[in-house]
């Protein structure tokens, strides 16, 4: 029987319960729990969380956040709120991850709590919307960092920018297609570059501030961080180049800008949910996973706030909102185009690491969905491009095959290219946030529902109920307000959900037809 039909039984109905609260149908044999060895500890989990969360967002999101807040002080508050939100979400994901082991992000939790359709829609949204949009954003950032280094801060990505972004996307997808071992080795190199970039930015900001404070005879009239109030209202430049007079905005319109700013912060913190992916490899997940999260997230929040403070020290405040490559712009402004070019190279390396990792994870999610019969089976084939081949290939063909999911990589690259061609950086951030947080919201609601529906569910880690409640309230508001503030992106997402439901039922009909 196809996997999609085997999930018709009520997910919270007549089942036998297995270890860690997983469910197994009484009539079905238990499936292997995981192929990973439990050989990781708290230190490894800590480093994994750090390396995933610290990506390109900290070097790109400040401009979109600054555009939507009345002052730099409010921008730093948004970074703090976004970090706390990520922290509460990660804690709740740790609860679900240790109670309901599974692969595919929030998909197994939604499938367990609400049913097969919700699990499919979560996987569909990540494969068709969230991951391709993320890859498109990072490809755009890669190209814009180079243009910023040579003095071009044009916010509208023209045809040349888009074509170069598509080319960057294809190159890194091809790198993932060589082999898993090559990808892993490249990732080890890229992780170090993230810490170097953050340290360099913070040190430059501190050195610049101390220099101006020590040299009192230096003319500081142009230093906004010294002469302007950090929480005072100002007139800023909107995404379309128009001026925003914050003193004239009130109520719903002001909240709309704040929600858009929060999307930028959430994009920078994106990856906090990936902490649950290491659960199966921890020797004592109930203790190690929450400990790693509660150590890593505060450090990340502190680092992000420090970096953004450095941006406002290094740059005139009216420049921050005009660039999507604020780190490169800051170094170019402070030390000239030569250093800006070096900074651009470093940021490109950081973005390259995020591109490589996201493409790697995205292709695996496509394979997982294909293995569930949610997507065509050829997308789950590994090692070659095309449909099913002979199960017993010759030794020569085996030697030439990659162990990468090439069909999935091609599919994911094509989806991402469409977002690059028809989208832009800031619109894609909002679209990405709507897609992700719609299902994060449902996962948190599900965690609360399970507290009352299955109070005896074995939960190795169980944070206070207020933690998922906070995340549910804030993420629900952000999604609802973001949908009103960005109706086009919300409309595209709803259309994709409708297309997904149609595909889901069409796929089920096709599988039934194959069986009969």
Tens digit of each residue's pLDDT (9 = 90 or more) over 87-98: 989 889 888 888
CA 509 from centroid of its chain's CA atoms: 33
Q: What are the tokens at 296? A: 């890593």
Q: Is the pLDDT of residue 347 over 80?
A: no
Query: How many residues are listed for the chain in this entry?
Result: 516
Tell me the per-residue pLDDT of 166-190, one tens digit each, with 9 for 90 and over. 998 888 888 777 765 666 666 666 6
With beta carbons less than 8 A apart as the criterion, state whether 227 and 220 touch.
Answer: yes
Give 16's strand partners.
24
Q: What pLDDT shows up at residue 12? A: 35
Please report the DSSP string for 260-298 in residue order: HHHHHHHHHHTTGGGGGGGGGGBSSHHHHHHHHHHHHHH
| pLDDT (0 to 100) of residue 213 | 80
| 483/7: higher pLDDT | 483
The band of 305, judged by pLDDT with boundaries at 50, 70 and 90, is very high
In degrees and rounded to multiples of 5, residue 106 shows phi and psi of: -80, -10
Question: What pLDDT, in 10s, does the model give residues 254-263?
Answer: 877 887 888 7
Work out the pLDDT band at 495, boundaries 50, 70, 90: very high
Q: Is residue 359 left, alpha or beta, with left meaning phi > 0 and alpha meaning psi from -120 to 50?
A: alpha
> In the structure, what pLDDT confidence band is assigned to residue 241 with cuts at 50, 70 and 90?
low
Q: Are 289 and 279 in contact (CB under 8 A)?
A: yes
Say which DSSP state 23 is in: E
pLDDT in tens, 450-467: 999 999 998 888 889 999
For the ranges 26-30, 44-48, 231-235, 263-267, the one whose mean pLDDT is highest: 231-235
pLDDT attached to residue 157: 59
Residues 6 or more apart in contact with residue 50 via CB below 8 angstroms: 296, 299, 300
Comparing 75-89, 229-243, 362-376, the range with the smallest average pLDDT is 229-243
pLDDT tier, 148 (very low <50, low <70, confident <90, very high otherwise): low
Would the pLDDT of 444 be above 90?
yes
Q: Are 122 and 105 spatial neighbours (Cβ–Cβ below 8 Å)?
A: yes
Structure tokens at 242: 């128009």
User: Which tokens in the block code for residue 485?
Assistant: 């503030």
Decide: 267 and 432 in contact? Cβ < 8 Å: yes
- pLDDT, residue 425, reads 76
> How much is the pLDDT for 23?
35
* pLDDT band with cut points at 50, 70 and 90 for residue 280: low
Cα 22 to chain center, whole Å? 27
Is the pLDDT reported for residue 13 higher than 50? no
Element (H, E) at 413: helix 406-422
CB of 45 closer than 8 Å to CB of 282: yes
Q: How confident is the model at residue 396 (pLDDT cuts 50, 70, 90)?
A: very low
3-state secondary structure of 27: coil
Higher-pLDDT residue of 161, 449 = 449
Q: How far is CA 355 from CA 35, 123, 216, 348, 350, in A?
A: 26, 20, 45, 10, 9
pLDDT of residue 25: 34
The answer to whether residues 99 and 459 touch, using CB atoms and an 8 Å cutoff, is yes
Is the pLDDT reported for residue 131 higher than 80? Answer: yes
pLDDT score of 310: 92
What are the beta bridge partners of residue 24?
Answer: 16
CA distance 40 to 282: 5
Residues 293 and 90 sit within 8 Å (Cβ to Cβ): yes
Q: pLDDT-derived band of residue 152, with 50, 70 and 90 as boundaries?
A: low
Q: Say which residue, 364 or 280, is predicted with more confidence.
A: 364
The CATH architecture to which 3-8+40-390+397-510 belongs is: Up-down Bundle (1.20)
Please indicate whether residue 460 or residue 361 has the higher confidence score (pLDDT): 460
Q: Where are the domains of the chain?
A: 3-8+40-390+397-510
Distance separating alpha carbons of residues 91 and 212, to the nearest angstrom: 42
Q: What is the per-residue pLDDT for 181?
A: 62
Residue 496 has pLDDT above 70, yes or no: yes
Number of Cβ within 10 Å of residue 365's Cβ equals: 22
- The encoded tokens of residue 221 equal 């009239």
* Residue 376 phi, psi (nearest 5): -55, 145
Beta bridge partners of 23: 17
* CA 44 to mean position of chain CA atoms: 21
Higher pLDDT, 26 or 291: 291
In angstroms, the CA 438 to CA 257 distance is 19
Model confidence band, residue 405 (pLDDT cutoffs 50, 70, 90): confident
Which of 34, 22, 32 lies closest to 281, judged by CA? 34
Mean pLDDT of the chain: 78
């Amino acid at each position: 029987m196809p996997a999609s039909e085997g999930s018709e039984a009520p997910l919270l109905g007549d089942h036998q319960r297995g270890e860690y609260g997983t469910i197994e149908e009484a009539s079905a044999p238990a499936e292997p729990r995981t192929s990973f060895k439990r050989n990781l500890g708290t230190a490894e989990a800590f480093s994994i969380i750090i390396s995933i969360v610290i990506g390109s967002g900290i070097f790109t999101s400040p401009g979109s956040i600054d555009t939507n807040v009345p002052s730099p002080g409010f921008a730093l508050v948004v970074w703090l709120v976004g970090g706390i939100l990520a922290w509460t979400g990660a804690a709740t994901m740790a609860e679900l991850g240790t109670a309901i082991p599974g692969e595919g992000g929030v998909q197994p939790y939604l499938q367990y709590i609400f049913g097969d359709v919700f699990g499919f829609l979560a996987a569909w949204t990540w494969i068709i919307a969230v991951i391709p949009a993320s890859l498109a954003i990072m490809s755009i950032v890669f190209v814009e960092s180079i243009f910023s280094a040579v003095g071009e801060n044009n916010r509208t990505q023209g045809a040349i920018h888009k074509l170069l972004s598509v080319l960057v996307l294809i190159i890194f997808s091809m790198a993932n297609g060589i082999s898993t071992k090559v990808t892993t080795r490249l990732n080890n190199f890229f992780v170090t570059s993230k810490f170097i970039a953050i340290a360099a930015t913070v040190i430059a900001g501190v050195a610049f501030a101390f220099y101006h404070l020590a040299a009192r005879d230096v003319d500081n009239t142009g230093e906004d961080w010294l002469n302007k109030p950090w929480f005072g209202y100002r007139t800023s430049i909107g995404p379309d180049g128009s001026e925003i007079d914050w003193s004239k905005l009130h109520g719903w319109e002001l909240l709309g800008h704040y929600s858009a700013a929060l999307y930028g912060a959430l994009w920078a913190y994106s990856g906090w949910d990936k902490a649950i992916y290491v659960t199966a490899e921890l020797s004592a997940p109930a203790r190690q996973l929450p400990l790693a999260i509660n150590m890593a997230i505060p450090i990340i929040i502190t680092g992000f706030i420090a970096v953004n403070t450095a941006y406002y020290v290094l740059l005139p405040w009216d420049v921050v909102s005009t660039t999507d490559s604020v780190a490169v712009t800051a170094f170019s402004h402070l030390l000239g185009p030569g250093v800006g070019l070096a900074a651009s190279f470093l940021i490109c390396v950081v973005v390259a690491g995020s591109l490589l990792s996201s493409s790697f994870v995205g292709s695996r999610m496509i394979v997982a969905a294909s293995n569930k019969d949610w997507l065509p089976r050829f997308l789950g084939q590994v090692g070659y491009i095309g449909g099913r081949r002979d199960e017993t290939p010759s030794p020569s063909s085996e030697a030439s095959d990659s162990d990468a999911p090439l069909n999935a990589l091609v599919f994911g690259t094509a989806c991402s290219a469409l977002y690059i061609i028809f989208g832009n950086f800031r619109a894609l951030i909002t679209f990405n946030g709507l897609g992700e947080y719609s299902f994060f919201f449902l996962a948190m609601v599900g965690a609360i529902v399970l507290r009352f529906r299955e109070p005896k569910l074995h939960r190795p880690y169980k944070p206070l109920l207020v933690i998922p409640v906070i995340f549910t309230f804030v993420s629900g508001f952000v999604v609802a307000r973001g949908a009103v503030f960005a109706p086009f992106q919300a409309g595209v997402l709803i259309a994709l959900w409708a297309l997904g439901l149609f595909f889901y039922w069409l796929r089920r009909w096709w599988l039934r037809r194959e069986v009969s």
